[in-house]
Amino acid sequence: MTILYTVHPGGQYVNLENISDEEMQSGIKVYVNATNRCPCSCTFCLRTKKHMAESNTLWLKREPTLEEILAAFKKYDLNNFKEVIFCGFGEPLVRSDDLMQVADYIKSIRPDLPIRVNTVGLANQVHNRDIIPELKGRIDTVSISLNTPSKEEYYKLTRSKFGPDSQDYMLAFAKECKDYIPHVVLTVVDHVISDEEIAQCQKICDRLGVTLRVRPYEEN
Ligand code: SF4
C-alpha cells in the first residue's frame, strides 16, 4: 500500500519506500495518500474510470489507519522533507480528524515543516460542521480546486453530491480559511479553461483576497 509518496518530474508517483537515500537527502515533497473517498465524481477524475483507478499505485484497497500513517512517517528523518501535502487519490479532508493528528505529530517534530492540504473545499458539508478552525496552527497552505468561474459548470464538472450550490460552499470555505490559514490558494488547470475564464477566476480570487494558481496540466 502506498501511504507516503513523492512525485518525480514527469508526474510519476513513487512510494517513499522506493526512493534512494541520495534523493531523500536532497529534500523531498512528501504526499500523504489517506483515502480514495470523495464527495465529488469529477468528469476528469481517474477514480471515476474504475479500471484506471485500480491500476493506479495510489488506489487503496483499504484505507491506512491513523496508526499506519504515523508509523509510515516514523520511518523517516523529517529533516529530509521540505513539504508535506495531504493529497492522494481522493479528498483528504474526508479524514480530517486523522490528518489533524498526523499534522500534530509532524509539527511536534518539525514545527517549521510546511503542511499543505489539496482539497475540493467541501469538508464542512462532508462533516456537517465547521472544521476550518481545527486547521489553524496545523495547516500552512490550503489549495482548493476552483476548476471554473461558473457555478453551473462547476457542478457539471464535479458532480458534487452536495448539489448545484457546491461552488458557493467551496468559495465560502476558501473565504473562511483566510481567518485561520496563512496561505489560501484556488487552483485552475491551464488549457482546460480559456484565458477569459482564467481572468474571471482571478476576479473571484481578488474578491475573496486569496491567491489564484494556474497549474500546468498534469502537474500534482
Ligand atoms: S475532487 Fe479530486 S478526487 Fe474528488 S472526484 Fe474530483 S478530481 Fe477526483
Domains and their CATH numbers in the chain: 4-215 (3.20.20.70)
Residue 147, classified by CB atoms within 10 Å of its CB into exposed (0-12), middle (13-18) or buried (19+), is buried
Q: What is the model's pLDDT at position 49? A: 65
Q: Is the CB of 39 under 6 A from ligand 1?
A: no
Q: How far is the CA of 146 from the centre of ligand 1 (A)?
A: 12
C-alpha cell at 162: 452536495
Q: Is the CB of 90 under 6 A from ligand 1?
A: yes
Q: Above pLDDT 90, what percent of the chain?
A: 76
Q: What is the mean pLDDT of residues 89-117?
A: 97
Spatial distance between the Cα atoms of 146 and 167, rounded to a whole number of angstroms: 8
Q: How far is the CA of 46 from the centre of ligand 1 (A)?
A: 8
Residue 67 has pLDDT above 80, yes or no: yes
Q: What is the mean pLDDT of residues 21-32?
A: 92
Q: What is the model's pLDDT at position 115? A: 98
Atom of ligand 1 nearest to the CA of 44: 7
Q: What is the mean pLDDT of residues 72-95?
A: 94
Per the CB < 8 A criterion, the answer to whether 148 and 198 are in contact is: no
Residue 159 has pLDDT above 90, yes or no: yes
DSSP symbol at 161 = T
Residue 9 has pLDDT above 80, yes or no: yes
Q: What is the model's pLDDT at position 220? A: 44
Spatial distance between the Cα atoms of 1 and 138, rounded to a whole number of angstroms: 26
**Ligand 1 atom 7: residue of nearest CA:** 45
